[in-house]
Amino acid sequence: MSTISRDEVARVAALARIDLSPEEVDRFAGELDVIVESIARVREVATPDVPATSHPLPMTNVFREDVPTPALPVADVLAAAPDAEDGRFAVPQILGEE
């Protein structure tokens, strides 16, 4: 019995900007239970008194000298782009008509 519904998978796929076929939505709805099982397991020991660790070796305020360094050549970067125009990335329409 799946605890994550098809609708939930479709909603999350839309948030993640991934087009899924109806068959993929069905399949993932069955497989995403792994996360529900994982969270149940983790909650057995993740009690309020335990602090969280984000990085293995904590470092704060990692600075570098405030010296300009050259950026990548524009032509090299645009050569790898799907589309370019006038020295810039060319992208599809971003704003709606209305």
Partner 1 sequence: MTDLTRLSAARLAELLAAGEASSVEATRAHLDRIAAVDGDVHAYLHVSDEVALATAADVDARRAAGEELHPLAGVPIAVKDVVVTKGTPSTAGSKILEGWIPPYDATLVEKIRAAGLPILGKTNMDEFAMGSSTEHSAYGNTHNPWDLERIPGGSGGGSAAAVAAFEAPLAIGTDTGGSIRQPGAVTGTVGVKPTYGGVSRYGLIAMASSLDQAGPVTRTVLDSALLHELIGGHDPRDSTSIPEPLPPIVAAAREGALGDLSGLRVGVVTQLQGEGYQAGVLARFHESLELLTKAGAEIVEVSCPSFEYALAAYYLIMPSEASSNLAKFDGMRFGLRVEPEEGPVTAERVMAATRGAGFGDEVKRRVILGTYALSAGYYDAYYGSAQKVRTLIQRDFDAAFAAADVLVSPTAPTTAFRFGEKLDDPLAMYLNDVATIPANLAGVPGISVPNGLATSDDGAALPTGFQILAPAKADDRLYRVGAALESALESSWGAPLLARAPELG
Distance CA 35, CA 17 (A): 20
Residue of 22, 68, 70, 73 that binds partner 1 (CB under 8 A): 73
Q: Provide the minimum distance between the beta carbon of 50 and partner 1 in the complex, in angstroms, as a whole number.
A: 4
Residue of 54, 66, 68, 70 that binds partner 1 (CB under 8 A): 54
Q: Residue 22, interface with partner 1 (CB under 8 A)?
A: no
> Look-up: residue for tokens 């479709």?
10
Coil, helix or strand for 33? helix
Q: Provide the minimum distance between the beta carbon of 56 and partner 1 in the complex, in angstroms, as a whole number.
A: 2
Q: Bridge-partner residues for 84, per DSSP?
A: 89
Q: What angle do CA 23, 30, 37 make, to 5 degrees?
A: 155
Coil, helix or strand for 52? coil
Q: Provide the minimum distance between the beta carbon of 5 and partner 1 in the complex, in angstroms, as a whole number.
A: 12
Q: Residue 1, interface with partner 1 (CB under 8 A)?
A: no
Q: How far is CA 10 from the centre of its chain?
A: 16
**What 8-state DSSP symbol labels residue 85?**
E
> Binding residues for partner 1, per CB under 8 A?
4, 8-9, 12-20, 24, 28, 31-32, 34-35, 37-39, 41-47, 50-57, 59, 62, 64, 72-73, 76-77, 79-83, 89, 91-94, 96
